[in-house]
Every structure is written in structure tokens, then in C-alpha cells.
Amino acid sequence: SEETSVISIAKDISEGLARNVISANFNDKVVEVNSMINEDGKLEFYTWDNDEGKSAFWHSSSHVMAQSIQELFPGVKLTIGPAINSGFYYDVDLGSHKISESDFDKIESRMLEICREKHDFNLRSVSKKEAIKFYKEEDNDYKLELINDLKDGEITFCDHSNFTDLCKGGHIPNTSIIKAVKILNISGAFWRADQNNKQLTRIYGISFPKQKLLKEYLNNIEQAKLRDHRKIGKNLKLFSFSSKVGLGLPLWLPKGVELRDRLEGFLKKAQKKAGYQMVITPHIGNKELYVTSGHYEKYGDDSFQPIKTPKENEEFYLKPMNCPHHCEIYNSNKFSYKDLPVRYAEFGTVYRYEQSGELHGLTRVRGFTQDDGHIFCTEDQIMQETENFIELLSKIYSDLGFNNFDIKLSTRPENRVGSDEIWDKAEKSLEDAIKHLGLNYEIDEGDGAFYGPKLDFVLTDAIGRKWQCGTFQADFNLPTRLEATYIGEDGNKHVPVMMHRAILGSFERFIGILTENYSGNFPLWLAPIQVVICTITSEANDYAKSLSESLNNANIRVQLDTRNEQISYKIREHSELKRPVIIALGKNEVANKTVSIRRLGSTNTESQNTNDFIASIVEEAKSPLD
């Protein structure tokens, strides 16, 4: 199509998003249009339903917010304003101004006025000289610093209304597509994330093409607050943190251990059934191991300081990754091609020094236990191992209540090791496996690991949030570095492919996600306390103790409550503690050898013969693999 036709089509698509279709000159337009030709040769536009579309939408919205702030607070200096996973932000030097929550409404109102005015977003190339002149007149040293890092010929401005911003692109056609906006919060942020630089004000926002979507989002925010695993975990006494122990280092309480043990046992059983051998490796390792593997170079700055030993020139580090250790376990044996694939799995605890501001309950910690695994196989086995892993992961996710997940195939990055031939084979093997299973997937160009392509598995929880948990990675690098080999059919030594894999990611983070997904109402088989026995009268105490012993002997996790309290009070308290099954025992139950049962979330009570109840609850409490 002619360039004008393409732009016209893009603008006319209802709520459509065309990333960078409007460009500075014909050549720019051709580049962008070609990038939207799909495998079938059809022109493809980015929409609200894909990541690229949302990114363009939110990046455009950040420009509108920046314009509004600049108009409402004259003299502020703008720095950067990217789209993020959920919305956007802009870092601003407010100078003498102050912004608080009381200002949010007027910023939103001005943003919506600009949106209704239907201003086109126009990207144009400018020379470095022109860009410097513009921002010198604006007296904006931040933008000048960014421009100084760019080369002449790679600088672009984006204009809309009377507003201009330094920008590399990624916009919707015009402002009218933005129908709903919300300023979420403000925080401090150092310029270029350097604490030696000036602290700026970071203003977060979100926007949508429909008001209805904003209402749903705000409702989900409220739901997320109610489901916050930090609050639920404290109420249910699952875990705690202590500043004396250290930030980001969770302490698992008895009921949390019950939950975690059930999850670990379930996963261990599933993995053994799938052909994995469980291994255990130390919490520390010699520095030289991580230097050889390449992990010191990658994680050295995020690692804890070396552990001192009595011996001079000997350095150990807290383990940042399990992979080198698994490679050494593989090297402790001699394998032939007939032995492959060899599959190892470990619940291995690793340590990384996250910044204190990034720590968040169980979902961002400094010490965590990965459900890690590594498969040593031949190149010809990659596709089958990929299929096996996806089937295992799908079953586990489904059993844990997650029936929806997305798959992203991340391909070769610019900086990588290995030949194109190997990368072609690895990428094709992963992609063929997904297709063979009939699963949908997205390609994330250039986001693979430096040693090989990878699949990332993104869960959708009960309120629609996305969580990247599982991963499957093809590694042609580490086995060579650590001299892993097998004897091939030809009698010579060959280097195996090492497939890195995780299903949950880490137990800490996944339990945080699981807690929020279920809002603490865990399935019976996972619940730390499965049955609570409450007495209505002291005359039922002996009967309650006998029932408790019978349930304990049947491996049911039971709590006995014989306090001298009203039964209504007991039921209310245990309901707040998310106990799945509450048994009430009074004179009638003792006389008739029955139990009165109330399920969490229900006001109905049912009566059942005691022996029948024990048999039924034992069956109901089985894990999906029992």
C-alpha cells in the first residue's frame, strides 16, 4: 500500500493502535510497516489485546500526563516517562512545586481534556544540534544528558498538541483513543537510578480505551488489597519477617511449613513420576565455580559478600544459582548416549542481594528456594523434553487451580554464544514442541538468555493478574564451560545440551501468588489446618478428643477447640482463619455419634455419621496425585 493509505487505515481502525506508523519520513514508515507483516503476509496492527499495543497506549498516555503536569505546574523539568507492565510513570523535577494526592484529580481532568481534543502523535527525526538547542531553551539538563548519549541521526521528537518530548517512538495515532485515566500514586526516584544523583518525583498512572476497563482495574486493585498475601500470611500465621534476622529473609511458621510441605511433597511426587532424580547441593560454593560458569560475572554485583574462611585466598559465596552444582553432579558420573536424558531436580535455596526498596513480602526476597531442575540431553532430544516439560507444568498448574497461562518464546539476543546453526535448531525445537501440543504462544524477539532460547510461562490469577513463574531454557554454554560430556554412539566424547527448568519459580513467590489467588481459602489438601473441632458444651470434650485422635491417625491436620466460648464466636473466629471444615459437637452429636459440619464460606450445616465423615474427609483431602 501507499504510505498514506497505511496511515489512513491505522487511524480508522476502531480503538486500533499502530505503533510508529506515523514517522518522520517515508523510509521510517516503510520500516515500521514491514515490522507489522505477519507470517501469512498480512498487515498486522497492534491492539489493546497485545503487549505491544498496551505499551504504545501507555507510553502515549505518559506524554499526555507530562503535558498536563507541565501546564499545571510551570517550570517543572521532565526527565523520562516509559510504559511499564501495568500503566506508566513520569519522573519529574518539580523544583519549588509539590504534588500530593489532592492534585491527582486536576491532573486527570486536564489529561482527559487533551485526549478529547484529538491531537495526533507525530514522530520526527531531529539533528543532535537541533535537539540540544531545544532543550537548552527549555533549561532541561536531564534531557540534554540523554541527548549527549545519543548519536546524530538517532534522535527523534514526538509532538502532540503544543507539546514536544524526546522520544524514540511507540505511540497510538491520536489522543482521542484514550478514554479513561487514573493517577495512581507518587514516590521518590533518583535520576538514572543513581543514589548520588538528585531525587525526582515519580508519578504513576494508568489509562484505558474504555471507562469500563478502568472500573474493572480499580475493582481489581481493591481485590488485590484484600488478597494481599502479606496481610493474609500474618493473619493465618504462615510466615513472618524480622529485622534482626535481616530484610527479605522470610521465617516460616508452623502452619506455613504445613502448607509448604504439602506443596513440596506434591511437586516432588509429580517430578519423580516424570523421571526426575532428586538431588541436594550446598548453600555455598567456591568462587571459582561461579567464575567458570559465568554466574559470577552475571550475579557478582547482586551477590552477598564473600564468606571468609580460616584459609587464606579461599573465597566462598552464598549460592546464586543451582545450575553449576547440578553440572558437577552430572560430572560425578560417566554417561553414554544411551543414558540420556538425565533429569535432576532440587528444591535448592539461593541468595541474591535485592535492593531494600524492591523487597515485597514473599514475592521479592533475598533468600528463596527454587523448584529447580536440569535436563542433560542430546540436541535430538530437545523437542521431546520440551513437550514432556510443558505437559508436566500444565498438569501441575491445573491441579493448583491455574487453568490459564500464556507462553512466550524468547529468541536469540544480540549478545550470545553459540553458532546460528545451533540457535536455529534450539529455537525450532522449542517452537515445534509448542505447536505439536496445539498451544498458543507469542515470540519475544531477542529476549533469550545469552546461552540459548527460552520459554516463559505466565499464569493468570483469579483477578486477572499476570505472573511469570515457570521457565524452560536451552543451554549450549554451561556444559562446555564446566566440561560436561557423554560418550556418543561413535565412541567419542560429546557435550550435552543442558535444559534449565522451573515450574513454580520459587516456593516463596509461588506461595505468595497462591495465597492471593485463593485469598487464603486454600483447597482442603493444601490447607495448613484442614478440620477444626469445636465443642458446644464441655460434655462433648471427650468425644471431641477421640475424634481428633482418629483424624490425626488418618493424617488429617486437625485443631481441637474446647475453650469455654460461645459456638458462634468459635465458628466466626475459625472462619476468619480460613479453616476449610468446622465441626461443632454438642450433646446430640455425642448421643448419636455424629458430627455437625460447616464448610468455609457456607452458612449451611450438615450432619453426618462420625465414621462416614472420617472416611469421606480422608478421601477428599487427598492431593491430586494421591
Q: What are φ and ψ of residue 372, in 5° steps?
A: -85, 155
CB–CB of 341/389 below 8 Å?
Answer: no
Whether 374 is catalytic is yes
* Helical axes 507-518 vs 254-273, angle rounded to 10°: 110
- Three-class SS state of 389: helix
Which entry of 115, 158, 167, 323 is annotated as an active-site residue? 323
Is residue 307 exposed (0-12), middle (13-18) or buried (19+ Cβ within 10 Å)?
Answer: middle
The DSSP H or E segment spanning 268 is helix 254-273
Which entry of 370, 381, 473, 559 is annotated as an active-site residue? 370
Report how far residue 626's alpha carbon sits from residue 623's, in angstroms, rounded to the nearest whole number.
Answer: 5
Cell numbers at 562, concatenated? 474446647
How many other CB atoms are found less than 10 A from the CB of residue 402?
Answer: 20
CB–CB of 449/417 below 8 Å?
Answer: no
Whether 352 is catalytic is yes
Residues with Cβ within 8 Å of 16's Cβ and at least 6 positions away in sequence, in order, are 10, 45, 47, 173
Which entry of 143, 366, 454, 579 is annotated as an active-site residue? 454
Residues with Cβ within 8 Å of 507's Cβ and at least 6 positions away in sequence, in order, are 260, 263, 264, 347, 368, 369, 370, 371
Closest CA to 7 of 112, 97, 102, 122: 122
Report how far residue 373's alpha carbon sits from residue 326's, in angstroms, rounded to the nearest whole number.
Answer: 8
Which entry of 374, 425, 578, 579 is annotated as an active-site residue? 374
How many other CB atoms are found less than 10 A from the CB of residue 194?
Answer: 8
Which entry of 28, 372, 456, 461 is annotated as an active-site residue? 372
Whether 481 is catalytic is no
Report how far residue 151's alpha carbon sits from residue 381's, in angstroms, rounded to the nearest whole number.
Answer: 46
Instruction: Give the angle 404-407-412 at the CA atoms, nearest 5°.
Output: 170
Report how far residue 64's alpha carbon sits from residue 57's, in angstroms, rounded to the nearest whole number.
Answer: 11
Between the CA of residue 488 and those of 342, 369, 408, 577, what are the distances in Å? Answer: 14, 35, 33, 58
Which entry of 352, 395, 466, 481 is annotated as an active-site residue? 352
Which entry of 500, 574, 578, 598 is annotated as an active-site residue? 500
Quote the DSSP letter at residue 462: T
How many other CB atoms are found less than 10 A from the CB of residue 492?
Answer: 8
Report how far residue 465's alpha carbon sits from residue 241's, in angstroms, rounded to the nearest whole number.
Answer: 25
CB–CB of 589/540 below 8 Å?
Answer: yes
Whether 500 is catalytic is yes
- Three-class SS state of 97: coil
The separation between CA 54 and the C-alpha centre of its own chain, rounded to angstroms, equals 18
Quote the DSSP letter at residue 348: E
Between the CA of residue 272 and those of 193, 373, 621, what are the distances in Å? Answer: 44, 12, 21
Whether 323 is catalytic is yes
Report how far residue 155's alpha carbon sits from residue 79's, in angstroms, rounded to the nearest whole number.
Answer: 15
Q: Find cell 510508529 and name the residue.
A: 20
Torsional sign, CA 461, 463, 464, 468: negative
Residue type for position 233: G
Report how far residue 341's alpha carbon sits from residue 258's, in angstroms, rounded to the nearest whole number.
Answer: 34
Report how far residue 605's alpha carbon sits from residue 204's, in angstroms, rounded to the nearest whole number.
Answer: 48
Between the CA of residue 329 and those of 168, 477, 484, 503, 506, what are the distances in Å? Answer: 48, 17, 10, 21, 21
Catalytic residues: 323, 352, 370, 372, 374, 454, 500
